[in-house]
Structure 1
Amino acid sequence: MPDDTAFDLIFRQASLAGHDRPVDIGVRRGRFSAIAPVITSDAPEIVIGGRAVLPGFVDTHVHLDKACLLGRCGHLHGGLKEAIAAVSTMKRDFTVADVHARGAQVLERAIGKGTTQMRSHVEVDPRIGLRSFEALKALKRDYAWAIDLSLCVFPQEGLTNDPGTEELLIQALRDGADALGGCPYTDTDPNEQIARLFTLATRFDVDLDFHLDFDLDASWMHLDEVCRQTVVHGFGGRVAIGHVTKLSALPPDAFAQAADRLAEAGVAVTVLPSTDVYLMGRAATHDVPRGLTPAHRLLAHGVTCSVATNNVLNPFTPFGDASLLRMANFYANVAQVGPEGFGACIDLVTTLPARLMNLRDYGIAIGNPADLIVLDAPTAGEALAGLAEPVMGFKSGRQSFSRPVAELYRPAEAMAAPGRLAVAGGSGGS
């Protein structure tokens, strides 16, 4: 049992995965420095009281640049092409300040819901130029105290068919973009787009993250070409594909073959439940398909997977609160995952997306940055099932948010404390 007064902070009685009983967690200079049944120290302490502690949620696929657009356009469209067209029109008028303000709304919600790592895709093309990228670079700096933001620039409306886009992508990569994305299904020459993006990724030594195979026609896919290029360029473990809703339409044998191909190439998959379920199957008049790729089945084949947010309050997804716990719960509902799979669903928003993003120092382990969140439940699985809110979070040992647990005012208590109801109504209760 550590006996050390050199800690800056002690978390007491934390329920931590891999430990049979609650443990104490010591923090020194912004990093985890001890994990033990009991730490003897006179350092400041926070009593967790047996609640579940996680290293924070990891959101691998968000679009901060086009979030919170409801009200700016009529929502009469319902399909993917219509959503892309609606945003294409609007983004011509986006300013750096506008993108920053809307992105900040989502970032603050995500922080308060327990996200400590995020990859945001950023559209770059002649219509928006680098304005959204500049705004997100500022957000990355402004919110570094609570969240690590990685920026993935990509051509939403095509590359080979959109002159000037490749030059803008190169400029963004030179100016610090962390990753490079793609969207082959909007390009007139999808395979050429894939090839060019692999060439750029190799040149700038950045990971790749594609929007891919986003419909339910399983008769053709771009998945094979991405896997092939991944092997050719030796990029295994550095490529992710998002949506891939075609996989949900494959029969078992074909699904298993595709899963094995992904695992062998080292290509990860991100499932985006809210958008995928909202946009897919709209042509059906009955027995509407879910359009949700079963990530838990891909895991059984050795494919690294994540579940992520994608869009918030825009034509692609007209709802959202940036809560990855809610998204994991939604995934479990739609994919019909029972209690035996709740732990895997938590992995899909924590350790697995950290692996997808190649985060080398993620997790509650000695020496890693002291990033953690506390859930209002004794285990992460119970938090998933009951949507138990995160009640506090820390980034590098510094508290980043808190959320008081709801307090109920029973009739006897209200009578014993006249005026208390009014105070609670004004403050939300605390």
Structure 2
Amino acid sequence: MTAKPAFDLLFRNAATRAAASPVDIGISDGRIAAIAPRLACETVEIDLGGRLALPGFVDTHIHLDKAFLLGRCGHDHKSLGDAIRAVSAMKRDFTVEDVYARGARVIERAIVAGTTRMRTHVEIDPRIGLRGFAAVKALKRDYAWALDLSLCVFPQEGLNNDPGAEELLIAAMRDGGEVIGGCPYADTDPNAHIARIFDLAQEFDVDVDLHLDFDLDPSWWHLEEVCRQTERRNYHGRVAIGHATKLSALPPERLKAATARLAASGVAVTVLPATDLYLMGRDATHNAPRGLTAAHRLVADGVLCSVATNNVQNPFTPFGDASLVRMANLYANAAHAGINEFDACLDLVTDLPARLMNLRDYGIAVGNPADIVVLDTDSGPNAIAELPDVLMGFKRGRKVFERQRPTLFRP
């Protein structure tokens, strides 16, 4: 007599993106132990009734340290520079407790929206010092039960032009920084900024994630220098650039060449729809450009891409709820994605950002952590089309939240 497998938890009738029909998913010791139809086991069962199970959303680019700042400053920011200056003035007064409280609000919203992995960009400079970093390190520790948080430290307001920033950046890397970022367009010497960030990345053996080319003037850019440094340092697959809105302003032949350059050098692109749409094209009197790079089309041509949150309710983006299914839907609308491209849009907040972050244990597969979220729909395309509720989430097999389906009270 064959013994039944032992599971701690069993999902029945789960729709997945890999299977043509619903399957059962067995969980043991916090990991996925089996995936098959009609698994035999006596344990705690949750019948998903054909609803979609995903391995959780992955947010590659968010700013926890400067979220929820609306009301602290007048909101009349008509450009990226205005937004940077507004936050710069405020962050001198940020405390560890303040950053922690605002970051926690974002993380809790992200958790109940189905996010299980996240990379936060943390500003390091003489105005904020290491206070924001200390707060986000505490958030990483305190929310590890529901979300894996990776810390990318970067100088938002430049490096060569900001005495003391580099020393603080190095201190943060020595104290737990996991990725290093940069903001070349804020520096008086952008190429030197890029080179120094790569120097530090190699010194600490970490990946690079840069804010880059965030405007609509295609007559100049820093993309080529980033690709050149990536190849020179043998950093293929370890570099990402965020925003890259200049790509949206390129004519077809130049875009084709830029796409080939990114693909060849292994530089990934993160598109940030809410911020990119909000800040780009604001000086247009009519027929305003979208400023949104078509990530899913870059993917089709060999470039690794993701779609992410960026900012939540601050001068850069005065709205947001940290929901990546909503962000993917917004992206699909603005990028004119067709129905046959909806699956590709869902990839941009799941499998592809996991690859961008070099996560080796992501996905609904035997042996991986049981990080699973359940959506109130039955397929990947419908996750984009319907904006369904995220009904429940599990981290390493433990339930971390549940949302009740609404009930209609008919007369």
TM-score by length of 2: 0.99
What's the secondary structure of 1:282's corresponding residue? coil
Contact between 2:361 and 2:369, CA under 8 Å: does it hold in 1?
yes
- Per-residue CA shift, 1:264-315, capped at 9, x if unaligned? 0000000000000000001100000000000011112100000000000000
2:393 partner letter: G
Residue 6 (structure 1) aligns with? 6
Q: Distance in 2 between matches of 1:325 and 1:381?
A: 11
Contact between 1:80 and 1:316, CA under 8 Å: does it hold in 2?
yes
Contact between 1:259 and 1:298, CA under 8 Å: does it hold in 2?
yes
Which one has the largest radius of gyration?
Answer: 1
Residue 36 (structure 2) aligns with? 36
Residue 104 (structure 1) aligns with? 104
Q: Distance in 2 between matches of 1:296 and 1:268?
A: 12
Q: Distance in 1 between matches of 2:248 and 2:402?
A: 38
Correspondence list, 1:61-100, <5 A:
61-100=61-100
Q: Distance in 1 between matches of 2:7 and 2:314?
A: 45
Correspondence list, 1:201-240, <5 A:
201-240=201-240
- Per-residue CA shift, 1:108-139, capped at 9, x if unaligned? 00000000000000000000000000000000
Residue 306 (structure 2) aligns with? 306
Q: Report the alpha carbon displacement of residue 380 of structure 1 after superposing the two structures with TM.
A: 2.2
- Per-residue CA shift, 1:400-424, capped at 9, x if unaligned? 111111111111xxxxxxxxxxxxx
- Per-residue CA shift, 1:327-362, capped at 9, x if unaligned? 000000000001100000000000000000000000
Contact between 2:26 and 2:33, CA under 8 Å: does it hold in 1?
yes
Q: Distance in 2 between matches of 1:387 and 1:361?
A: 27
- Per-residue CA shift, 1:233-257, capped at 9, x if unaligned? 0000000000000000000110010
Q: Distance in 2 between matches of 1:114 and 1:3?
A: 35
Q: Which runs of 4+ in 1 moved over 3 A?
A: none
Q: Distance in 2 between matches of 1:77 and 1:316?
A: 8
Correspondence list, 1:231-310, <5 A:
231-310=231-310
Contact between 2:346 and 2:383, CA under 8 Å: does it hold in 1?
no
Residue 338 (structure 1) aligns with? 338
Residue 361 (structure 2) aligns with? 361
Query: Residue 380 in 1 paired to residue 380 in 2?
Result: yes
Q: Distance in 1 between matches of 2:18 and 2:35?
A: 12
In structure 2, list runs of 5 or more residues that go unmatched: none
In structure 1, list runs of 5 or more residues that go unmatched: 412-430
Alignment root-mean-square deviation, CA: 0.8
2:144 partner letter: A
- Per-residue CA shift, 1:348-395, capped at 9, x if unaligned? 000000000000000011110000100000112112101001100000
Q: Distance in 1 between matches of 2:376 and 2:407?
A: 13
Q: Distance in 2 between matches of 1:406 and 1:113?
A: 16
Q: Report the alpha carbon displacement of residue 20 of structure 1 after superposing the two structures with TM.
A: 1.2
Q: Distance in 1 between matches of 2:4 and 2:318?
A: 51
Q: Distance in 2 between matches of 1:203 and 1:383?
A: 42
Q: Report the alpha carbon displacement of residue 5 of structure 1 after superposing the two structures with TM.
A: 4.2
Contact between 1:24 and 1:36, CA under 8 Å: does it hold in 2?
yes
Residue 48 (structure 1) aligns with? 48
- Per-residue CA shift, 1:47-75, capped at 9, x if unaligned? 01000110000000000000000000000
Q: Distance in 1 between matches of 2:403 and 2:381?
A: 20
Residue 316 (structure 1) aligns with? 316
Correspondence list, 1:174-193, <5 A:
174-193=174-193
Q: Distance in 2 between matches of 1:189 and 1:101?
A: 35
Aligned length, in residue pairs: 410
Q: Distance in 2 between matches of 1:401 and 1:212?
A: 36
Residue 397 (structure 2) aligns with? 397
Q: Distance in 2 between matches of 1:6 and 1:237?
A: 39
Q: Distance in 2 between matches of 1:295 and 1:389?
A: 25
Contact between 1:392 and 1:401, CA under 8 Å: does it hold in 2?
yes
Residue 348 (structure 1) aligns with? 348
1:251 partner letter: P
What's the secondary structure of 2:329's corresponding residue? helix
Contact between 2:275 and 2:316, CA under 8 Å: does it hold in 1?
yes
Contact between 1:3 and 1:41, CA under 8 Å: does it hold in 2?
no
Q: Report the alpha carbon displacement of residue 17 of structure 1 after superposing the two structures with TM.
A: 1.3
Contact between 1:31 and 1:369, CA under 8 Å: does it hold in 2?
yes
